[in-house]
Amino acid sequence: METVRNAERELMARLPEGALMQRAAAGLAAACADLLGRVYGSRVVLLVGSGDNGGDALYAGARLARRGAGVTAVLLAPDRAHTAGLTALRRAGGRVAGAGEGEALVEGADLVVDGIVGIGGKGGLRPDAVPLAAAAARSRGAVVAVDLPSGVDADTGEVHGDAVRADLTVTFGTHKPGLLIDPAREYAGSVRLVDIGLELPAEPELEALQHADVARSLPVPGAESDKYRRGVVGIAAGSARYPGAAVLAVAGALRGGAGAVRYVGPAGDAVIARFPETLVSDRGPKHAGRVQAWVVGPGAGDDAVTVAEVLAADVPVLIDADGLRLADAEIVRGRRAPTLMTPHAGEAAALLGVERAEVEGGRLSAARELARRYGATVLLKGSTTLVADSGGGAVRVNPTGTGWLATAGSGDVLSGLCGSLLAAGLSAVDAGSAGAYLHGLAGRLAADGAPVGAHDVAEAIPGAWRNVLG
């Protein structure tokens, strides 16, 4: 967050004293008013720490008090509270209370504003703030966090200890990584960005693609296209025990933009029965014919020979599921063509030699470390899907998806889809990002609030594609 703090300092140097905080407070007060609906007569409690977030909360509280709200500030550090903000609140008719009164006030509030800790906070909440966060969780009122929920790590999305759970986070200038990456994202609720005029570097730490970004990367055939010019993706997946993985990977690949899909493996009969357009071979990857990219690993069991053959090919390769376990790390690092690895948290933990909880609690660092160790692009699946490149640069955060995608075979569909985009000519980063985006959107469309199977997700990909292209 040093980048944001530097931008704030540069802007404050050009503005009258206090002007930047007033901009933030105005946006915060407007968001609070929208959430309340009726401001006059509402009960608002401000949880005020010693930093600028506390000042933002106090100034916003003063604006709400002038509109008829009953506003009380609970000061966690009375001797270090923002002096001018306190004066503004009192002049507007607000009152001040000590932390000892806080729990009862919070539980009876219509709105609780969390201004305890700012973006510089590390670790969980201090002990004196924990009861107030617990009272906010019990309160029937809405909880609004100032810039980000207190107790979460702004830089990484990690949560070490207790933290405030917000219904709405009003953030200033730019989205902080902790608002985009789980587990912290779960604490943020909805996020509203207030533009306060910061000038930020062109290269961000994180990117969250939108429809227009994905639309620009998707392959569109021209008048001269044929199935080979559009790309051929090879799928080396499935086993006697897991033939369905092959079927689902092919299902995703057929909807991913490549002109043809070649399948290699023991599930050929199951694949051809479901998708007769697939080019099926049982002679192994070396003898499958021309491909522009390979997908290897879904349902592969212990077939290390096939994984090794695919990794030896001088074309982009996506490694998933069993392939991640069977792939030789030195061979992956030595590949000249792009490699895209797609682990979930458990697989990433095994590759890194750590516990799964460590990956889930530090998704950003795990994705970056895997990409660095393997010299590959890494798509870390999960509640927050991240795409990190070995060359560094911005990590991409996927903004689409639904909890209903946590179903058997969903990852096989994603692998086929991303592999097809690789074969169509996208870079590993773009193929992973666009594939995750379409897959998440397809999951939403297929589920529509109800349980779905992986095959439903595959069938919804064309609708997601059309949705993105508008």
Rounded CA gap, 157 and 363, in Å? 8
- 381 marked as binding residue: yes
- 245 marked as binding residue: yes
H helix intervals, 224-282: 243-254, 268-274
Provide the 3-class DSSP secondary structure of residue 118.
Answer: coil
- 411 marked as binding residue: yes
- 121 marked as binding residue: yes
Phi, psi at 232, each rounded to 5°? -120, 130
The single-letter code of the amino acid at 187 is Y
- 18 marked as binding residue: no
- 328 marked as binding residue: no
Q: Cβ contacts of residue 299 below 8 Å, gap of 6+? A: 237, 238, 239, 241, 242, 243, 244, 245, 246, 249, 267, 321, 322, 412
- 227 marked as binding residue: no
Phi, psi at 282, each rounded to 5°? -120, 25
Rounded CA gap, 23 and 56, in Å? 9
- 124 marked as binding residue: yes
In Å, how far are 220, 261, 404, 427 from 466, measured between CA atoms?
Answer: 12, 21, 21, 21
Asked whether the CA dihedral 261, 452, 388, 365 is positive or negative, the reply is negative
- Of 178, 176, 194, whose CA–CA distance to 186 is shortest? 178
- State the Cα torsion 334-339-343-347 to the nearest 10°: -10
- 288 marked as binding residue: no
- 55 marked as binding residue: yes
- 52 marked as binding residue: yes
- 402 marked as binding residue: no
Judge whether 363 and 155 are in contact, CB under 8 Å: no
Exposed / middle / buried, residue 40 (Cβ in 10 Å: 0-12, 13-18, 19+): exposed
Rounded CA gap, 69 and 38, in Å? 9
Q: Which two tokens stand for residue 266?
A: 């023991």
- 147 marked as binding residue: yes
The single-letter code of the amino acid at 217 is S
The single-letter code of the amino acid at 115 is G
In 10 A of CB 441, how many CB atoms? Answer: 25
- 384 marked as binding residue: yes
Judge whether 213 and 190 are in contact, CB under 8 Å: no
- 85 marked as binding residue: no
Rounded CA gap, 309 and 131, in Å? 58
**Residues placed in the known binding site for (6S)-NADPHX:** 52-56, 118-124, 147, 245, 299, 344, 412
Residue set of the binding site for K(+): 53, 114, 150
Binding residue positions: 52-56, 114, 118-124, 147, 150, 245, 299, 344, 381-385, 411-412
User: Could you tell me which residues are annotated as the binding site for AMP?
Assistant: 381-385, 411
